[in-house]
Amino acid sequence: MDLRYSLEDEEFRAVVRAWLEVEVPAHGPPPSPDDWPARRAYDTAWQRKLHAAGLAGIAWPRAFGGRGLPVSQQLVYLEEYARAGAPYVGVNFVGLMHAGPTLIAEGSDAQRAFHLPRILAGESVWCQGFSEPQAGSDLASLRTRAERRGDEYVVTGQKIWSTRAHVADYCELLVRTDAQARKHAGITWLILAMRQPGVTVRPMRTIDGESHFCEVFLDEVRVPLENRVGAENDGWRIANVTLRFERGTAFAQHIINLRAQLVRLAALTKSRSAARGAPRDDLRRRIGRLDASVEALWRMTQMCISEAEWTGAPSPLGSAVKLRYSELGQELAELAVRVVGRPIIGAVELDDLRTDDVAREYLWSLQSTIAAGTSQIQRNLIAQRILGMPKGR
């Protein structure tokens, strides 16, 4: 792996930077966080612009409509994207970051031909229906069942924590197709169309006052056989491909954003210390340590993206990236609350920051060590799949 940027990479950087400098301000500010139809419209309109500019699916192979950029230019793109403060991938996250890549790796030609262009162009929004009330960390114990009747499956059960399911068109759905088999062996990966009879979506309110995710109830929902990805009962293997994309490369943009957050925090610490008339060496040291950690994490991410390019899917190293990213994000958000101090309980402007945004970011950061597999589960995976340690009892 050569981490230096070539002349060609720098030329690409200039093109991306120039495009973002015009388009980001033109796209306007994001809508209110609880107006989900407006959020969908905002995020998908941005995706359409990226697509029209040839910047959708930068890591996707050209054969599937992506830009097929080499790793170095993917990294340049992500750096410029964060620098410009461009819109968050938002409702397009699941489609672009793991459903699309799973279809590229495991889908049929017909599934790829139908879904991939729509995901890239911001025309279809995906959600993930993996977790259930009794199946989170132990995902393989899921119970939503799919019975084969003629040329379709009839699906009944319940999913939970399905992020943005209330604005989704499709769902990557795990179902049990063989109740007698070992639990990992009776699972199938289906593409579920969300807008059809029998699908009920109920948003759930979180501690930050928003409704990021939903319960999804499935009552005799029809799914055509051609919507099965891979073979029947081979869904556990395919789910692991999805999870490796979700944990490995999907967070790259978030990790770059950590650096932007850290720069804001350093500026705030400086001005708060000046206002109090006393420098805070303890805070300066913590910020210095965080800076080094974010840099190290970015290098791990580069390695992960680079590996994914060679092998077609991220390796289990993604668990280490996800673990470190989520814990660092929490540390940063918690430190921001400390730096703001008492004004955190109001909605006050400090420098360019609103203190209620800092509080909301802190509350939201609490989810990161749970979503996409908890930190304990990532540690288990690191122990078993990277370090080769035996399974605990």
Ligand X SMILES: Cc1cc2nc3c(=O)[nH]c(=O)nc-3n(C[C@H](O)[C@H](O)[C@H](O)COP(=O)(O)OP(=O)(O)OC[C@H]3O[C@@H](n4cnc5c(N)ncnc54)[C@H](O)[C@@H]3O)c2cc1C
Q: Which of 59, 56, 51 shows the shortest CA–CA distance to 313?
A: 59
- 16/250 with CB nearer ligand X: 250
Least distance between ligand X and beta carbon 57 (Å): 20
* 269 in contact with ligand X (CB under 6 A): no
**Residue 344 has what DSSP assignment?**
G
Candidates 23-31, 40-48, 284-292, 366-374; binding stretch for ligand X (CB under 6 A): 366-374
- 64/126 with CB nearer ligand X: 126
- 41/370 with CB nearer ligand X: 370
Give yes or no for a contact between 210 and 172, defined as CB atoms under 8 angstroms apart: no
Q: Is the dihedral of CA 329, 332, 334, 340 positive or negative?
A: negative
Instruction: Give catalytic residue positions.
Output: 246
Q: Please name the helix (run of DSSP H) or strand (run of DSSP E) that holds residue 243, with its range, or none.
A: helix 235-248
Least distance between ligand X and beta carbon 278 (Å): 38
Q: Please name the helix (run of DSSP H) or strand (run of DSSP E) that holds residue 375, with its range, or none.
A: helix 375-381
Size of the site for ligand X (CB under 6 A): 20
Beta-ladder partners of 90:
none
Within 13-52, the residues that bind ligand X by CB under 6 A are none
* 300 in contact with ligand X (CB under 6 A): no
The residue from 44, 249, 306, 367 that contacts ligand X (CB under 6 A) is: 367
Least distance between ligand X and beta carbon 361 (Å): 14
Least distance between ligand X and beta carbon 207 (Å): 11
Least distance between ligand X and beta carbon 393 (Å): 11
Tokens of 218: 């499935």
Task: Give the contact letters, 90-129, x = binds to ligand X (CB under 6 A), - = no.
Answer: -------------------------------------xxx
Least distance between ligand X and beta carbon 248 (Å): 15
Candidates 39-47, 283-291, 330-338, 364-372; binding stretch for ligand X (CB under 6 A): 364-372
- The residue at minimum Cβ distance from ligand X is 136
CA 361 to chain centre: 16
The residue from 211, 315, 330, 374 that contacts ligand X (CB under 6 A) is: 374
Dihedral pair phi/psi, residue 323, rounded to 5°? -60, -50
The residue from 303, 370, 382, 383 that contacts ligand X (CB under 6 A) is: 370
- 293/380 with CB nearer ligand X: 380
Task: Please report, to the nearest 10 degrees, the dihedral formed by the alpha carbons of residues 129, 131, 132, 138 taken in order.
Answer: 150
The residue from 102, 111, 124, 131 that contacts ligand X (CB under 6 A) is: 131
Give yes or no for a contact between 114 and 99, defined as CB atoms under 8 angstroms apart: no
Q: How far apart are the first and last CA of the chain?
A: 38
- 212/272 with CB nearer ligand X: 212
Q: What Å distances lie between residue 340 and 270, 281, 304, 343, 387, CA to CA?
A: 11, 16, 35, 6, 40
Within 136-175, the residues that bind ligand X by CB under 6 A are 136-137, 161-163
The residue from 8, 376, 385, 386 that contacts ligand X (CB under 6 A) is: 376
Q: How many residues does the chain have?
A: 393
* 330 in contact with ligand X (CB under 6 A): no
What does the buried/exposed string (b/e) look like for 62-76 if buried means 16 or more CB atoms within 10 Å of the residue's CB? Answer: eebbbbbbebbbbbb
Give yes or no for a contact between 191 and 242, defined as CB atoms under 8 angstroms apart: no
* 371 in contact with ligand X (CB under 6 A): yes
What does the buried/exposed string (b/e) look like for 91-126 if buried means 16 or more CB atoms within 10 Å of the residue's CB? Answer: bbbbbbbbbbbbbbbbbeeebbebbbbbbbbbebbb
Least distance between ligand X and beta carbon 194 (Å): 13
Q: Which spans of this chain sit near ligand X (rule: CB under 6 A)?
A: 127-131, 136-137, 161-163, 212-213, 367, 370-371, 373-374, 376-377, 380
